[in-house]
C-alpha cells in the first residue's frame, strides 16, 4: 500500500505593511470560512534572499509547495483546481 502524500504547503509571500497582502489574506480567510482549505502560512518574502530575488515586487504571491497559484489577487478557481476541491 502506498503511504499517504505529505500535506501540501500553502504559503502567502508578503511584506510588512503591504495593503495588497492584507487584502489577499482577508480574501483567503473569507473563502476558508465557506469551504475547507489548508492553513495558510505567511512568509515575509524579504526573509529569504532566494524568494526576494524570484518574486521581488510581485507580492502577494500564493504558492502551493513551490507552484505559483496566483499573485496580487486571490484566484479561488485556480486554488480549488490545484487543491482538487
Q: What domains lie within the chain, and their CATH numbers? A: 10-83 (3.40.30.10)
Least confident span in 3-7, 38-42, 68-72: 3-7
Contact 78, 33 (CB under 8 A): no
Residue 20: partners with Cβ closer than 8 Å, 6 or more residues away: 59, 60, 72
Q: What share of the chain is helix, strand, coil (3-state, %, to 5)?
A: 40, 20, 40
pLDDT number for residue 81? 87
Question: Does residue 43 surpass a pLDDT of 70?
Answer: yes
pTM score of the predicted model: 0.86
Question: Does residue 50 surpass a pLDDT of 90?
Answer: yes
Phi and psi at residue 44, to the nearest 5° = -70, 115
Q: What's the chain's average pLDDT? A: 90
Q: Which of 7, 13, 2, 5 is nearest to 68 (CA)?
A: 13
Amino acid at each position: 500500500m502506498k503511504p499517504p502524500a505529505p500535506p501540501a504547503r500553502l504559503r502567502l509571500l508578503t511584506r510588512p505593511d503591504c495593503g495588497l497582502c492584507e487584502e489577499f489574506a482577508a480574501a483567503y480567510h473569507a473563502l476558508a470560512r465557506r469551504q475547507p482549505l489548508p492553513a495558510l502560512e505567511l512568509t515575509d518574502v524579504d526573509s529569504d534572499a532566494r524568494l526576494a530575488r524570484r518574486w521581488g515586487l510581485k507580492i502577494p504571491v500564493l504558492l502551493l509547495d513551490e507552484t505559483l497559484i496566483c499573485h496580487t489577487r486571490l484566484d479561488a478557481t485556480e486554488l480549488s483546481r490545484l487543491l482538487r476541491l
